[in-house]
Structure 1
């Protein structure tokens, strides 16, 4: 039987992400952001981030509508092992607080070496290059963790994600059953 302490030590030893891994990078407008792995201490920030997305941005991110993130959703969003389920958060200082302005994440999917990703940027921070930065770090982590293919399924009307996916090197196609969604796919071996 494993105790909680030894499990924590095993996870800390196993975790492929350097605890100090972070980047301070400029956006297209010169604003600097902190990008680092999402951590449990970010739970309330992640909740506030989702809560303050416009209804349209929430619909594009979650492929549907809801009024507020509930506890089960937050538990799923924060369930990371930094190998099969990874997330990076982008933060800025505002009024003496760290504010989440974007997040990128992937999770392994059935099929050898496959993961599905999502990138979300707060409405007021879009079109400044943040999605590209978050996507680049996510792609690097997926490669480092041995994934061969990264995909994203989005609403066909999500033109912002379509442009971002193309800029990150993804190819795009419609699923065989219609045109309401689009599948972006990236070969991580390249």
Structure 2
């Protein structure tokens, strides 16, 4: 991976955010950067631009158009308990989000729930892997010990990505239509 800034996560939302330029499998270069409150409209367009299947897999239900409350939740982050990265491309002088990865921690700060979503046109290029690797690295730098993702059992792409990244998989005991992917995060060193 080609990192343009090696710092993990800003200590406060006002610090300079890390940004990475990554080369995908098809040799496309893409910018990965933290999501900020300024991304509200871009995040709305991203969610609305997802296929019905991708929206279903991401939200485990139908979200056609995100509410103001949801948009605040996904763009106004503290970067201590919540972290989110956007993969962006320039689209007529504006950045367009084509992929997102995020996590939020539990009260202990040792466990987090994560998610990754990539638009249909950008799938099969390694973008989900790149987004998740940055997310895992940041979780590790924050001392998070366990990362989980709760997914639709039919989501084959997430199952393959999770397996590739070393997540274990088990049935959700509370919902047979879902699976839980889990990754033990080992400290660097």
**TM-score clears 0.5:** yes
Matched with 1:84 is: 81
| Aligned-pair Cα RMSD in Å | 1.8
Q: Is the 8 A contact 1:79 1:85 kept in 2?
A: no
Instruction: Quote how far apart the aligned CAs of 1:67 are.
Output: 2.2
Residues 32-86 of structure 1: per-residue CA shift (max 9 Å, x gap):
0000111122111111100110111100000001221110111111131112100
Larger radius of gyration: 1
TM, length-normalised to structure 2: 0.88
Pair 1:173-2:173 in alignment:
no
More helix by proportion, 1 or 2?
1
Equivalent pair of 2:11/2:79 in contact (CA under 8 Å): no
**Cα pair distance change 1:138/1:17, threshold 3 Å:** farther
Measured after TM superposition, the shift of residue 111 of structure 1 is 5.2
**TM-score, length-normalised on structure 1?**
0.88
Moved more, 105-114 or 75-84: 105-114
**CA offsets 1:1-35 (integer angstroms, 9 cap, x no match):** xxxxxxxxxxxx84289614111111110110000
Task: Count residues in correspondence.
Answer: 178
Return 5+ residue gaps in structure 2 as ranges. 1-9
Query: What residue ranges of structure 1 are gaps of 5+ in the alignment?
Result: 1-12
Task: Provide runs of 4+ in structure 1 moved above 3 Å.
Answer: none
| Aligned counterparts, 1:1-190, within 5 A | 14-15=11-12, 19-110=16-107, 113-189=110-186
Match of 1:9 in 2: none
